[in-house]
Amino acid sequence: MQAMPKKKHRFLLRRAPSLLGAGILLLLAAALLVLSKEVGDGVREGLSICTNVVIPSLFPFMILSSFLALSPLSELISRPLSPITRRLFHLPPELGATVLMSFVGGYPVGAKTIASLVREKKLSQETAARMLCFSVNAGPSFLIGTVGVALLGSPRLGWILLFAQIVSAFLIGGIVSRRAKISRGETGGVGLPFSAAFVEAVSGAASGMFGLCAFITAFSGILALLRSSGVLSGIACLLAKIAPSSLADPNLFEALLGGLLEVTSGCVAAAGLKGDLPFVVISLLISFSGVSVIFQVASCLRGSGVRLSPFVLSRFAHAFLTSAIAYPLYLKWGREVMTALGTAARLSLEVSPTSVLRALCILAMCAILLLTASTAPLQAKK
C-alpha cells in the first residue's frame, strides 16, 4: 500500500525540472502578451545598437580578420609578432595575425577566426580553448568611440580602458599558457587563394554578424521585459539593501545586472551613474562581456568541438583585472574629465526609427548574402 505514494513521489521528482521549465515558459508567454509594447521598444533599441555601434565597428574587422587568417597574408603579418606569440602565449608563430585581430576587431572577431581555423584543421581544439581565454576583447572602436566619446564624453577614458584590457588579456594569456607546449604544424599550409579567402571571409562575416545582431536584439528584449515587469529593479533593490552604505544604490546594481546580460545596454545604464561609478562599472562590464557575448562565442564555435568552460571562467578574471589596472590610471588622468563633464554632457547614444530601419535592411542583406553563398556550390555542381 505504501509503494504507490513512493512511486508518485519519485515521478514528481523526475518531472520537477520539466514542470518548472513549463511554468517559467508560461509566465514568460503571459508577460510578453501583457508587456508587448515594452518588449517591442527593447527590440527596437537592440536593433538601433546594432546599426549605430555593432555593425559599423565590427563587420569590417570580421571580414578583415577572417581574410588574414585564411589567406597567405597571415604568415607575413604574423612574422614580426612571433616573439610575443611564441614566448608569451606559447603559440605557433603563424597565429600572430589571429591574436592581433582579436584585440583590434572586437568581441566575436577572435572567436570567429579561431573557429574558422579549427574547422580548416589548422588549429587544435585544445589550443583554441586556451586562445579563447585572451582573444575575446572589446575593440578600440567600441571602447574609444562608443564608450569613451559617446557614453563617458572623452576619448581619453576610452584609451585608458583599452590599455587596461590589453594588459589584462596579456596577463591571462601568459598565465593559461605558461605550461603549454608549442604545437608545430598546427597552422601549416599556405592558405586559400586571395579570391577564395575573400569570398569565405565575407560570407563568414555575414553569418557571424547575423547571429551577433540576433543575440543583441534578443537580450535587449529580455532586458526590457525584466525592467518593465519590475524583476530587475526588485533584485537591484534587494542587493542594494544588503550592500555597504557606500554602494547602496539600486541604479548601480541594475546597471551591473543589465551589463551581465548585455554589455552595451549595461554600459549605457552605467554611464548615468554618479561620481566614479560609471568608469568602474564599465571597466568591469567590458571585459566580462556579458551573457550575450558568451552566447555569440558559443554560436561561432558550434560544431567545432572546442570547450567553452575555460573561456567562461576567464571572463571573471578578465573583468576584475581590467578594473584593477584601469582604476589607478583613471584616478591620475581621467577623473578630472569625468568631474568636469558631468552626466548631462554624456549619454549621446540615441535610438531612432530610421536607425531601426537601417538595421533591418542590413540584416536582410546579410541573409541574402548567406543564401547566395550557400546555393552557389549547388549551382556549380549542376
Q: Give tens-digit pLDDT for 291-333.
A: 989 998 998 888 888 999 999 999 999 999 999 999 999 999 9
Pick 214 or 176 by higher pLDDT. 176
- Residue 362 binned pLDDT confidence (cut-offs 50, 70, 90): low
Radius of gyration of the chain (CA): 23
Specify the number of domains making up the chain: 1
Phi then psi for residue 103, to 5 deg, are -85, -30
Q: Which domain holds residue 147?
A: 36-377
Single-letter amino acid, residue 189: G
How far CA 20 is from CA of 13, 15, 23, 27, 137, in Å, comes to 11, 9, 5, 11, 36
Does 4 reside within a domain?
Answer: no
* pLDDT of 272 above 90: no
Does 96 reside within a domain?
Answer: yes
Contacts by 93-101, CB closer than 8 A, 24 or more apart: 94/186, 94/187, 95/123, 95/131, 95/187, 97/65, 97/68, 97/69, 97/73, 98/65, 98/68, 98/69, 98/74, 98/131, 98/135, 99/131, 99/135, 101/61, 101/64, 101/65, 101/68, 101/69
Stretch 341-361: mean pLDDT: 56
* pLDDT of 246 above 60: yes
How is residue 77 written as a grid cell?
A: 603579418
Write the DSSP symbol of residue 135: S
pLDDT of residue 353: 53
Separation of alpha carbons 97 and 93, rounded Å: 9
Separation of alpha carbons 297 and 315, rounded Å: 12
Separation of alpha carbons 318 and 324, rounded Å: 10
Does 3 reside within a domain?
Answer: no
Separation of alpha carbons 127 and 180, rounded Å: 9
* pLDDT of 7 above 90: no
Contacts by 288-291, CB closer than 8 A, 24 or more apart: 288/259, 288/260, 288/263, 288/315, 288/316, 288/318, 288/319, 289/107, 289/136, 289/138, 289/263, 289/315, 290/219, 290/259, 290/260, 290/261, 290/262, 290/263, 290/266, 291/219, 291/260, 291/261, 291/262
Stretch 95-120: mean pLDDT: 84
CB-CB contact of 57 with 264 (8 Å): no
Does 6 reside within a domain?
Answer: no
Pick 226 or 329 by higher pLDDT. 329
Question: Which span out of 157-171, 201-215, 233-247, 262-276 was modeled with the highest average pLDDT?
Answer: 157-171
Does 29 reside within a domain?
Answer: no
What is the number of alpha carbons within 13 Å of residue 103 lying toward its C-beta?
16
What is the number of alpha carbons within 13 Å of residue 243 lying toward its C-beta?
15
Q: What percentage of residues in the chain have a pLDDT greater than 90?
A: 29
Stretch 106-113: mean pLDDT: 82
Lowest mean pLDDT among 119-133, 218-232, 366-380: 366-380
- Residue 127 binned pLDDT confidence (cut-offs 50, 70, 90): very high
Separation of alpha carbons 369 and 267, rounded Å: 32
Does 149 reside within a domain?
Answer: yes
* pLDDT of 381 above 50: no
Write the DSSP symbol of residue 231: H
Residue showing cell 533599441: 45
Residue showing cell 597571415: 74
Residue showing cell 578600440: 140
Alpha helices for 190-308 (secondary structure H): 194-228, 231-242, 250-261, 263-270, 277-288, 290-300
Q: What percentage of residues in the chain have a pLDDT greater than 70?
A: 80
pLDDT of residue 104: 82
Separation of alpha carbons 42 and 31, rounded Å: 14
Does 109 reside within a domain?
Answer: yes
Pick 247 or 1 by higher pLDDT. 247
CB-CB contact of 137 with 107 (8 Å): yes
Read off the pLDDT of residues 44-73 as tens digits, 9 standing for 90 and up: 888 888 887 778 777 887 787 778 777 888
In this structure, the chain runs to a length of 382
How far CA 272 is from CA of 38, 155, 156, 276, 350, in Å, comes to 21, 17, 18, 11, 14
Residues in CB range of 8: below 8 A, 6 or more apart: none
CB-CB contact of 258 with 243 (8 Å): no
What is the number of alpha carbons within 13 Å of residue 207 lying toward its C-beta?
21
Pick 36 or 315 by higher pLDDT. 315
CB-CB contact of 117 with 74 (8 Å): no
Does 373 reside within a domain?
Answer: yes
